[in-house]
């Protein structure tokens, strides 16, 4: 259903599954929590981020308690919560969670794992959105840290060209006054 963009229908189905699993395992059962996380994702995709946040936090709390904060399922839920917070414009909270997820995924899964790469890309996106919201389009310390972490010649060249463009712009302003 989610793959087809039928988020409201998926939300209903996952809501029913949560209710069924709660009767079988209780509200803290791992299968219940897995369905809660899926429901949170469906609600998030449907644009119902307030509800999604509450469910993601519930799932995160229980997964962390029973599986540990570095378990892949707990990390997936934390990543989802970060995306929900980003949608709400809560950049600092989203960035903090995303950084935690990235660090733990790097430790648990390794730097080249797709989930780790995904977290790295989300962190970059959060930082970009945060700068756009603040009206800042300059290179920050986080940009340079990100570029160094990537150890990519292409990103370093991009950074160097941005710095050069910025320096040229400042020189032009200085001499045109």
What DSSP character marks residue 111?
A: T
pTM of the model: 0.70
Average model confidence (pLDDT) for the chain? 83
What CA–CA distance (Å, rounded) separates 114 from 105?
10
What CA–CA distance (Å, rounded) separates 47 from 144?
33
Confidence at residue 43, expressed as pLDDT on a 0 to 100 scale: 92
Q: 45 Cβ partners below 8 Å, 6+ apart?
A: 2, 7, 10
Q: Which residue has the higher pLDDT, 167 or 123?
A: 123
Q: 1 Cβ partners below 8 Å, 6+ apart?
A: 7, 9, 10, 13, 42
What DSSP character marks residue 138?
A: S
Model confidence band, residue 118 (pLDDT cutoffs 50, 70, 90): very high
pLDDT tens digits for range 29-76: 888 898 999 999 999 999 999 999 999 999 999 999 999 989 999 999
Model confidence band, residue 160 (pLDDT cutoffs 50, 70, 90): low
What CA–CA distance (Å, rounded) separates 84 from 82?
5
Confidence at residue 136, expressed as pLDDT on a 0 to 100 scale: 60
- How many percent of the chain have pLDDT more than 90? 52
Confidence at residue 177, expressed as pLDDT on a 0 to 100 scale: 46
Model confidence band, residue 11 (pLDDT cutoffs 50, 70, 90): confident
Could you count the other beta carbons within 10 Å of the beta carbon of residue 143? 19
Number of H helices and E strands in the chain, helices first, is: 8, 0
What CA–CA distance (Å, rounded) separates 73 from 33?
10
């Amino acid at each position: 259903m989610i793959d087809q963009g039928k988020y409201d229908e998926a939300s209903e189905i996952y809501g029913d599954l949560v209710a069924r699993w709660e009767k079988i395992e209780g509200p803290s059962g791992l299968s219940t929590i897995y369905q809660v996380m899926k429901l949170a994702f469906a609600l998030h995709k449907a644009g119902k981020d307030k509800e999604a946040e509450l469910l993601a936090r519930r799932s995160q709390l229980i997964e962390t308690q029973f599986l540990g904060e570095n378990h892949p399922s707990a990390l997936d839920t934390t990543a989802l919560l970060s995306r929900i917070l980003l949608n709400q414009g809560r950049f600092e909270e989203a960035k903090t969670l995303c950084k935690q997820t990235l660090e733990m995924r790097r430790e648990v899964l390794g730097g080249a794992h797709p989930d780790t790469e995904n977290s790295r890309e989300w962190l970059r996106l959060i930082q970009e959105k945060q700068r756009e919201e603040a009206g800042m389009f300059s290179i920050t310390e986080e940009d340079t840290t990100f570029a160094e972490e990537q150890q990519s010649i292409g990103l370093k060249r991009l950074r160097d060209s941005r710095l050069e463009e910025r320096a040229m712009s400042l020189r032009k302003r200085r001499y045109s006054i």
